[in-house]
Amino acid sequence: MLTLGVDAARGGWIAVALRNGRFVDAFLERRFPVLLERFPKAAVVGVDVPIGLPEVGSRRRADVDGRSAVGARRASVFFTPPRIALEAPTYTQARALAPGTSAQGWALKTAILDVDRVRDPRVREVHPEVSFAVLAGAPLAFAKRTWNGQRERLRLLAGAGIALPDRLDAGLVRADDVLDAAVAAWSAVRIARGEHVTFPADPLAGEPVIHA
């Protein structure tokens, strides 16, 4: 069984492919739809962007519950901006239309809209920090861009049977993006096997969820 974990990275999208839960390779593609076309046999594609946008003035329960799950790392789970903010031409205009729009959310507008245009049932929303917290059984102690944080995440992945090699052809992207894609792939395996959990735990029909 082939699964993918995908994270937005400089230059496009970094994907980590697993077969039966074991590392196969990592790939970089400029556009998300091209990545899906490249892997037509992937059972599940876990992607680190919000899927399902809120109305102006409301917050997704997925974001609220995801933030609670990661403890001190809660700032990494940003509140998803509404569509009207993401489609605004400038951040100033986005804030005027939806005052709660964060700089972090705005910075990912291209990635969010790239995935939003896709209609593929294999694609599921994940969040790496939430996935790592579920994998560890508790929120992680260190930020992902620190040495301690990266070593902690590598140990967790290795313990789950995902051994990342020292060198990757797609390894010119940031190290934390590779780690995020790898744990997204771990969540994709769990989704494919029906072993995953969701945030919120009791989603309504059609409600956005974070899978882990």
pLDDT, tens only, 53-94: 999 989 999 999 999 999 988 888 999 999 999 999 999 999
Alpha helix segments (H runs only) across 18-162: 32-38, 61-69, 83-86, 91-97, 103-107, 109-116, 128-136, 147-159
Cβ burial of 148 (10 Å; 0-12, 13-18, 19+) is exposed
Domains and CATH numbers, the chain: 2-52+118-211 (3.30.420), 61-116 (no CATH)
Give the pLDDT confidence of 99-125 residue by residue, as tens digits. Answer: 989 998 989 999 999 999 999 999 999
Q: pTM, whole model, 2 decimals? A: 0.95
Q: Taking Cα atoms as reference points, which of 63, 37, 45 lies closest to residue 6?
A: 45
Is the CB of residue 42 less than 8 Å from the CB of residue 3?
A: yes
Cβ burial of 157 (10 Å; 0-12, 13-18, 19+) is buried
Q: Specify the amino acid at residue 188.
A: A
- CA distance readout (Å), 34 to 17, 24, 68: 15, 19, 34
Give the pLDDT confidence of 122-141 residue by residue, as tens digits. Answer: 999 999 999 999 999 999 99
- pLDDT score recorded for residue 51: 97
- pLDDT score recorded for residue 29: 94
Separation of alpha carbons 107 and 91, rounded Å: 9
Separation of alpha carbons 166 and 182, rounded Å: 14
- pLDDT score recorded for residue 169: 87
Is the CB of residue 50 less than 8 Å from the CB of residue 66?
A: no
Handedness of CA 28, 29, 33, 36 (dihedral sign): negative
Q: Average pLDDT over the chain, rounded to whole?
A: 95
